[in-house]
Amino acid sequence: MIVYATHAGGRYLPIEESLREQPEGKRAVYINITNDCNCDCVFCLRSMKEMAKESSLWIERDPSVEEIIAELDRLPWEYVCEVVCCGFGEPLIRLDTVLAVLRRVKEQHPDVPTRVNTNGLGELEHGCEFAERFAGLLDTISISLNASNAERYLALTRSKFGISSYEAMLAFAEHCKPYVPNVVLTVVEKVENEEEIALCRKICAERGLTLRVRTYEDS
């Protein structure tokens, strides 16, 4: 499933089913950019292989820009309040695809806000800074902070880039600030205790970043 909406109980529904279940009102539309990821988080549904394969979010191959745009063009846009590039994996591994999709949304539906949900390791993945490419295309970037220090972050994410990942993720958040109106870092409430969340708040405050504490299902 490439384009879907989320519903109560952690369910992901194609837009037609979403509208059958909830005929009224606008909803966020999510785009599954890729299954691929540069992390292997201990809490990730992808790591539960059998569950992942059975999930409607698992895609057999990455969709092309044309395939994604074709699905977007079929959407009933009067019911769409936000477009979110995410994945069952890490969307910014396919940076050019994400940018092309965001550009299309802004060209066709300039009033609809856009968001990218990411682990924030895209600059390590691509070996360069690219936040300025989001200018005018992206309204919100939601970056998984996960932890208050590099060691715990690596233990949770098992990032393929190792111990430098944490600082690189925070640097990416700061690089986004001039180009993306809402830069939000997130931690998951059941993964972190109150003490750890307080430390995360302090780190974000020091860097002028916004922290959102989200529930496990609320991704």
Where on the chain is the footprint of ligand SF4 (CB under 6 A)? 37, 39-41, 44, 46, 89-90, 119, 157
Residue 200, beta-bridge partner list:
none
CA-based end-to-end distance of the chain = 17
| Nearest to ligand SF4 of 40, 129 (CB atom) | 40
What's the gap between Cα 13 and its chain centre?
17
Please report how close the Cβ of residue 73 comes to ligand SF4 at its closest, in angstroms: 27
Neighbours of 126 (CB within 10 A): 13
Please report how close the Cβ of residue 126 comes to ligand SF4 at its closest, in angstroms: 16
Contacts of 114 (CB under 8 A, 6+ apart): 82, 83, 84, 85, 102, 105, 106, 137, 138, 139, 140
| Nearest to ligand SF4 of 89, 113 (CB atom) | 89
Please report how close the Cβ of residue 38 comes to ligand SF4 at its closest, in angstroms: 7
Of 181, 185, 193, the closest CA to residue 169 belongs to 185
| Nearest to ligand SF4 of 103, 158 (CB atom) | 158
Please report how close the Cβ of residue 218 comes to ligand SF4 at its closest, in angstroms: 13
| Nearest to ligand SF4 of 46, 175 (CB atom) | 46
Please report how close the Cβ of residue 108 comes to ligand SF4 at its closest, in angstroms: 28
Contacts of 111 (CB under 8 A, 6+ apart): none
Q: Rounded to an integer, what distance in angstroms lies between the CA atom of residue 103 and that of residue 210?
A: 25
| Nearest to ligand SF4 of 91, 113 (CB atom) | 91
Of 160, 162, 148, the closest CA to residue 191 belongs to 148
Contacts of 170 (CB under 8 A, 6+ apart): 120, 145, 203, 207, 209
| Nearest to ligand SF4 of 71, 90 (CB atom) | 90
